[in-house]
Structure 1
Amino acid sequence: MPLGILDDTTLEHIPGTAPLNALGDTATYTGIDPGLLKHDRTGKIVLVPQPSDDPNDPYNWSRTKKELFTICYGWGCGCVGAVGPLLGSAFVPLAAEFGVSLATFTSAVQGGAIAAIAVGSLVFNSLAVKYGKRPVYLGTTIGLLVSCFWGAATTSFPSFVASRVFCGLCMAPMEALVPASIADVWYVGLLLSQENRLQYDQVCPRAWVPYRDLQSRGLGGGLTWQFRSLCSPASAIIEYGSYHAALYAMGGAFSVQLILIFLWMPESAFKREALNIDTGKTTVTLEGKPDLELVEHVWGNRTPTSRSSHSWFQDLWPYSGYVNHVSFWNTLIRPFYLLGSPAVIWAVLLFTICISWLVGISLTLSQIFSAPPYSFSVVGVGATNLSSFVASVLGTLTAGPLVDGLITKMSKMNGGIFEPEFRLPIMVTYLIFTSTGFFAWGQASYAKDPWPVSVIVCLGLINFGIQLGTTGVVSYVVDCHREKAGEAFATMNFIKNMFAFGLSFYINDWIAIQGVRNCFFTIGGITIGITLFTIPM
């Protein structure tokens, strides 16, 4: 196998390996009869994964339906990304208001929510595998709405902590299930030769419109994490109003999310009877029925008989009737089986440090910038998130085209065969930008440099690099474990959040005792060391 990727000598079908060439180039379809493959409407591009013949298959949804589905999880990720650090800029004054220490407030309010996300990732993933994703999204969105109004109305610290823990529990699906939802709906990135691209443009002059139907999960994953980086204007609401008003406003945002999910986010779990075109050793022909595999989700022993498309009103039902034959308890434990996969172990390490360090920064912003020489107000501390937002926008605009461009180029070099490992070179940018940002952040804060150095340059580098890194991690895992993407991300989110939960107990004291430079120099070194594990991958 070219490009340094080791060949597999055991599996008949190698997960994630797939031909991405146009139909005419049959030489690159080792072991697969091109006559069996389904293409886009131009007939020039192979669809990966292969859709079924059922019009209700999410891969066969119209472009409008897919776009509306994407808007729903995009808005949901934005809301969940905002409610987590919602009060971060006001930790110092809120701890004083409730009469507890900063460390106690951080570990109870933020740490409790993070631990609840970890548990919820496993529980709701199991429910989604068993009964589908739509009822889980609807139910937890109602829970998020209730938790925000609960937290806004209470004045007791234990009750406030309980509301945030319940909020964290309901945040879990937008943490763990969205990447799997992307895999349910969108195709993998596709390879167009120059000749076929010209032909494609002649058939479809506005080629970007239909091609977006075939957009890779690399861009989809990048959009997901971009939306998660959005921060609400909560700091201004808290400063000029109260934290109660901020939570009421967040509850209103989740009310909008509930409406969007109800209207535009139908069930995407689907029993798919389609050709598995992962590269194998056995030639697939029309007579090769054993090679026509049931992929993705399993719907008990039932076989779909209806080929009529569901109406919009049918899609509005909160529960579609989807039932998986697997045991709920087995599904609850099964995600940890994936720790036997090198791809998942690597992703757990990278995903944990990518996101947990951002959690650590959010827990310490108020501690660093509320103190001299900065002495920022709550609004000032909250405004530091604008740098992260802008950097994440730039990262999103860069990550998708960069990842997809790399896999296109490397697939061409590989004879038209796509390998999930083609997602990994993007991690070089994560290593450079993020580690540099941590070292610079620690030094600038220690030297009391002007705030634009710390906020604009350092936070910008960190968030830009993390945006690129998470895009690579998410898309790589989805490509390696397409059928088990939900379980993989449940594992990743559980371990990441448990690590972040532990971090909430010591990050503030770590900075207070050893100083911000030693703290973030250590974090930068850990980032470099963990990222270097990408080389053996």
Structure 2
Amino acid sequence: MPLGILQDNKLEHVPGTSPLHELGRTDLELATGIDRGLLKHDATGQIVLVPQPSDSPNDPYNWPRWKKEMFTVVIAYGCGCVGAVGPLLTPAFVPLATQFDVPLQRFTLGCNGSCIVAIAVGSLLCNTLAVKIGKRPVYLVTTLGLAISCFWAAEVTSFPSLAAARAVQGLCMAPFEALIPASVGDIWYVHERGFRMAIFNLGVLGGINLASPIAGSVIQYGSFRIAMHAMGGAFVLMLLLVIFFMPESAFLRHDTLNIDTSIHDLETDMPEKKKPVQHIEDRPKSYTASSEPRDSYVKTLMPWTGYWNHVSFWRTFLRPFVVFASPVVMWATLLFTICISWLVLISITLSQIFSAPPYNFSVSAVGATNVSSFVASLLATLVAGPIIDGVAKYMAKRNHGTFEPEFRLPVMCTYLIFTAAGFFAWGESLYNEDPWPIPVIVCMGLINLGVQLGTTAVVTYVSDSHREEAAEAFAIMNFIKNIFAFGLTFYANDWLAAQGVRDAFFVIGGTTVAVTLTTIPMYIFGKKARSWVKRVGVLDSVLKVE
């Protein structure tokens, strides 16, 4: 029972478990059945690379450092833009509902609800296309769609047209929520993912939190049309960044050692029939990955690399629903939905809360309430990577050099402490009509600090547990999360008006505590759950390529 995790004795090797540290040991072969001489390490020689890269210079794991970092920079900017466009108009919901002559609840449903449900559908569709043809074409087309839909929304003359533009925006936003975690897993090793997942979350949450302060002032002193035009310009820049610095990360990897996804202690991926490990050095000299020429930079700019997965379209479409059968994905979906959806509820009720007495905020002031959320998310990002990666490496060291994906989960205690406390305090402070710094700075700061740490831990855990099915896992997680958030748009404003802000957020806080406590059994039984998924073969009928 390593560090509280129940061991599994049914499989020789449980997928997700892998050697991470050698720590100067000479008994690694005896302890894990893996010949140390076959494993590739980082530059220090102390950390085993998980997953093991191939010898090909075109393998994303072998990209130059600058190329990986630029890819991550584009992720941060792109996710920031995508995070911003969703709540862009929320500070002005009350005056805009009046301007378009529709009730507030209907305006919320049409403006945000249509966007959210489109993200849910787009998550499944974009995942299917990404698995079939690769991720780059999907990123390119949807980024172009985001720019066009923003310019469309800026020129609408009716509420139905605005709702339609927002639906198109949601459809095009989907890959930057559902595919990015899988792209991070495509190019970064296990011991490097925590910080990059935090960057992804900062982009999304930072965009959400910065959009309102900026857009609020623009809308108040200009119009929502100016804000949408500016957002369209931001996506034009994003399109250029995707073209030049976001090459295809999907890669068919052969002749590598499966030390994290195999059910055996050591297994190789080879294009022909699998051979025993001891014969690796006897491969035919006619095919070696290292002899492949490195793709030129100009070639990587092609919109499509020719990547093609021969599995059927409908089988690919069904993959996310089958992956949901994994207890790891079920649990992560529950946590991910709770982590993010309550932020959606807060965003669509901010105008309702702070435009009314006793605060009587202007549109720009309502938008400015999110500044503290951005600062909290930024601070959380600075510590999320070192904490999540650091805890995992420390626990792997304590576990005799063996990494378990469950080592990502202890960080969830920060989500329980900060976010739950923030929700309770938010409801109480607004009920007591406390001065605005208490709910805005203290409460929203606590909530976003916890959410950033919690979501980073969840997505990293899923990526480590189901590396080969990461895209499908995040697609179904985003689908369910957005369907739940869409449901909130039907009753959020009326719920707060009818029940009161304190009772509503006490319910939210209590729900958050109950759901987060499920992390304890997930940590204890997670390895057995991963073993069960592999032994039963619940994913194989749909995930295996014919």
Does TM, scored on the shorter chain, surpass 0.5? yes
The worse-fitting range, judged by mean Cα deviation, of 66-75 and 447-456 is 66-75
Match of 1:225 in 2: 201
Tell me by how many angstroms 1:398 deviates.
1.7
Q: How does 1:9-48 map to 2 (within 5 A)?
A: 9-22=9-22, 24-28=24-28, 29-48=31-50
- Write out aligned runs for 1:118-267 (5 A): 118-189=120-191, 216-230=192-206, 231-232=210-211, 233-267=214-248
The answer to whether residue 514 in structure 2 is matched with residue 512 in structure 1 is no
Q: Deviations over 1:452-479 (max 9, x none)?
A: 0010000000000101100110100000
State the partner residue of 2:429. 444
- Read off the aligned partner of 1:259 and give its amino acid letter: L
Q: How many residues align?
A: 502
The separation in 1 between residues aligned to 2:137 and 2:261, in whole angstroms, is 35
1:410 aligns with 2:392: no
Where does the alignment leave 5 or more consecutive residues of structure 2 unmatched? 278-286, 523-546
Structure 1 residues 306 and 85, CA gap change in structure 2 (3 angstroms):
farther
Question: Amino acid of the residue matched to residue 8 of structure 2?
Answer: D
Aligned partners of 2:257 and 2:268 also within 8 Å: no
Change in CA separation of 1:286 and 1:305 when aligned onto 2, cut-off 3 Å: closer
Deviation at 1:291, TM superposition (A): 6.4
Aligned partner of residue 13 in structure 2, secondary structure: coil
* 3-state SS of 1:278 partner: coil
| Alignment deviations for residues 230-257 of structure 1 (CA, whole Å, 9 cap, x no partner) | 2231111101100000000000000010
Give the match's secondary structure for 1:484.
Answer: helix
Paired residue type of 1:149: F
SS for the counterpart of 2:2 is coil
**Residues of 2 paired with 1:389 and 1:523: CA distance?**
21
Q: Is the 8 Å Cα contact of residues 93 and 104 (structure 2) preserved in structure 1?
A: yes
Quote how far apart the aligned CAs of 1:450 are: 0.2
Determine the C-alpha separation between the residues in 1 that align with 2:276 and 2:12: 10
Residues 23, 43 of structure 1: 8 Å contact kept: no
- Equivalent pair of 2:220/2:363 in contact (CA under 8 Å): yes
Instruction: Answer whether contact 1:391 1:464 (CA < 8 A) is retained.
Output: yes
After superposition, give the CA deviation of every residue in 1:428-485 in whole Å (9 maximum; x if it has no partner): 1100110100000000011100000010000000000101100110100000000010
1:320-365 CA distances to partner (integer Å, 9 max, x unpaired)?
Answer: 0000121121111111112221111110000001000000000000
What secondary structure is seen at the aligned counterpart in 1 of 2:253?
Answer: strand
Q: Within 5 A, what are the aligned runs for 1:386-401?
A: 386-401=371-386
The answer to whether the 8 A contact 1:117-1:171 is kept is yes
Give the TM-score taking structure 2 as reference length: 0.89
Q: Is 1:96 matched with 2:103?
A: no
Question: What's the CA shift for 1:521?
Answer: 0.4
> 2:276 & 2:143 partners in 1: Cα distance?
40
SS at match of 2:9: coil
Distance 1:172 1:12 in 2: 38
Paired position in structure 1 for 2:538:
none
CA contact (8 A) 1:19 1:279 kept: no
1:283–1:478: structure 2 CA closer, same or farther, 3 Å change rule? closer
Percent identical among aligned pairs is: 63
What are the Cα deviations for residues 113-136 of structure 1, in whole angstroms up to 9, with x where unaligned? Answer: 000000000000010000000000
Whether the 8 Å CA contact 1:392–1:463 is kept in 2: the answer is yes
Where does residue 345 of structure 2 map in the other structure? 360
TM-score calculated relative to the size of structure 1: 0.91
Q: Does 1:501 pair with 2:486?
A: yes
Q: Quote the Cα distance in structure 1 between the aligned partners of 2:126 and 2:260.
A: 29
Deviation at 1:401, TM superposition (A): 1.0
Shift of 1:2: 1.2
Unaligned 5+ residue runs, structure 1?
190-215, 293-301
Aligned to 1:323: 308
SS in 1 for 2:132: helix
SS at match of 2:194: helix
CA contact (8 A) 1:120 1:170 kept: yes
> Structure 2 vs 1, CA of residues 424 and 63 (structure 1 numbering), >3 Å: closer, same or farther?
same
Q: For 2:250, which of 262, 269, 281 is the aligned residue?
A: 269
Q: CA RMSD in A?
A: 1.9
Partner of 1:465: 450
- Shift of residue 276, structure 1, vs aligned partner: 0.5
Q: Partner letter of residue 495 of structure 2?
A: W
